[in-house]
Chains A and B, each alone.
Chain A
């Protein structure tokens, strides 16, 4: 076993037991067995060809979950800052190292039919609400870190929107990791379960950040049950910094005529493995999967996506855009599965990439597995530099080259962000993207010149 798994197993033995029911305990134990047997995924596996977790394997974890408890809420500046940017009327849950922080969260005055709670609390008080939902979409098997995550199933967010409820206010989930050198390496295992009831509508914003520059791991699993006719907009922002490793695994299942609008942004600087798996399980289900990833310095960003067309008349439109700078590496895998009988499937996929440096690389591969015959499926990936004509046009109007490059790179990224339906979140994401791009090759000169 690697030092990482060994140390995590040791920490698991030492942890306090909660009062979760037997079926939860069984789920954890079975997952722990799988995690131990499998080890961390290796590059020999097809799904992990582009990404090595060797860096993670070497970590000897000293803690899982939050560090020392704060004496009072404002004693922990990181926690206070996590909420400072949020509007007053927001619904917000804050997690520090995977643990729910009630004092920093705003979950009162929820509209009727909306429930937003901590998993730790539900595991004890109302575990029956989780049965048949928790652990059913993200199964603790296969070449992933889901089993390891499930063995630490303790806390996270549980969101339930009742039938036909239209929630106008977005639900914000802030996942903050503390990466203090004093008690590192540390790991966080937050979890998310969403049940969007029939005909409901909601927006969910997940923001992952870290404070400090010590090594560590965030291993996140989300399960999104989207019932018939429901619409869910899910936005995921990853901005943890090196040397932290961020692994996220989201599994969604859509029933008849349901819709998922997913936007995933990777703006951090560390090693990222982001898996998104969407099952279009019943006729008429529709998903739009948008992604933007930025690689900087020696960052490594791997997006592994799967759309499973399991029923006829379903639509998927996927576009992931990558910008890679310095000697970063990007990996994109887009699996599209069209099952037998999934006729009239409409599946579009594209992955345009911009390389800002000669040393940056992108490894992109669509993977179409089509077993039905009446299907529209298209895919395309491109790797390129900025449009030379556009660049010259801007320069010919007096805009210096560095700034012109930045303008074009921003435009490339904004097209992903502009698809976000929620205006306040869209603005926040635009600013985050601009701030991240301002640190790329040549952009710093641009800021000084105008």
Chain B
């Protein structure tokens, strides 16, 4: 495993629409690592992912996030994306009237331009797209349709993974990607995620349940409660949580067990 710290979150405090949510998060992700963040509803999991990608409505009040040593918080959302930060959304938005394939090519070429590469023409893009679509088992006609319009919950999540496969980000954040998936869709999504695992990349898998972690086995597991990481451990911690529930964390004894 590489020693290089790719993402460094230090003493991160953030508010969502003025309400304090994150109250001091410290987390380092090294290249090649997969970290899972688990926690009950309202613990700050989604706020953490939204702050990482710069969603409006969230304000960082203290602390910093470094990505490859650069201050992430100073970058516009589109620059973070082009630098290689990617969030697979919990609730992917439907955008009527914007064709999926046109959107994807625009996004891929924006990232390429950022890296000083020539844009892909329609033909080259199409062959790249076909290759990645196979991985998430998406039929051709979904590309001509508007972004996520009329897609089932599973199709939307597969579309998120497709975007990740095309954009090849170095820091992938998955926000409750497993929620609402049946077992087949979960297998496909997990397959796509595992394809992205590499010694150069880091992943942050945010989830409420252990389910996805059976397929995407994490190197580290962190438990988030009331805006703080209250416990960290290896993959066994996820199993322990599954067994005992979050109540166990939120009662006093978790504090003493912080690792």
Contact = CB atoms under 8 A, between A and B. Distances in A.
A401 B97 CA distance: 18
A426 interface: no
Interface string B64-104: 00000000000011101110000101001101111000010
B95 A450 contact: no
B159 to A, nearest CB: 11
Contacts, number: 81
Contact of A407 (B53, B106, B163): B106
Contacts of B82: 398
Given A392-B77, A398-B107, A398-B167, A412 B97 contact: yes
A398 B110 contact: yes
A398 B95 contact: no
Nearest to A389: B93
Interface string A9-34: 00000000000000000000000000
B81 A392 contact: no
Contact of A397 (B55, B97, B107, B113): B107
B130 interface: no
Interface in B132-152: 146-147
A415 B99 CA distance: 12
B78 A399 contact: yes
Given A395-B78, A396-B81, A407-B103, A450 B110 contact: yes
A185 to B, nearest CB: 40
Nearest to A413: B97
B16 to A, nearest CB: 14
A411 B97 CA distance: 4
A387 B148 CA distance: 15
If over half of A's interface residues share one DSSP class (helix, strand or loop), that class is named, otherwise mixed; here it is helix
Contact of A393 (B54, B89, B167): B89
A411 B95 contact: yes
A430 to B, nearest CB: 11
A70 B129 CA distance: 55
A403 B106 contact: yes
Contact of A408 (B98, B107, B111): B98
B62 interface: no
B98 A411 contact: yes
Given A388-B56, A390-B95, A450-B109, A398 B87 contact: no
Interface in A43-59: none
A408 B95 contact: yes
Interface string A225-269: 000000000000000000000000000000000000000000000
Interface in A339-365: none
B93 A397 contact: no
Contacts of B113: 449-450
A398 B53 contact: no
A398 B81 contact: yes
Nearest to A403: B106
Given A450-B109, A450-B113, A397 B167 contact: yes
A114 interface: no
A397 B98 contact: no
B114 interface: yes
B169 to A, nearest CB: 9
Contacts of B107: 394, 397-399
Contact of B77 (A396, A403, A407, A408): A396
A392 B92 CA distance: 11
Which of A388, A393, A414 has the most chain B CB within a 10 Å cutoff? A393
A393 B81 contact: no
A398 B146 CA distance: 18
Contact of A395 (B76, B92, B98, B147): B76
10 contacts: A387-B93, A393-B147, A394-B107, A395-B76, A397-B81, A397-B163, A400-B76, A404-B78, A411-B97, A450-B119
In the A-B complex, the 4 residue pairs with the closest CB atoms: A411-B97, A398-B81, A397-B107, A398-B110
Given A393-B92, A395-B76, A415-B96, 17 more contacts: A390-B95, A394-B95, A395-B81, A398-B78, A398-B107, A398-B111, A398-B167, A399-B103, A401-B78, A403-B106, A407-B103, A407-B106, A408-B97, A410-B97, A412-B97, A415-B97, A450-B110
Interface of A: 387-390, 392-401, 403-404, 407-408, 410-412, 414-415, 449-450
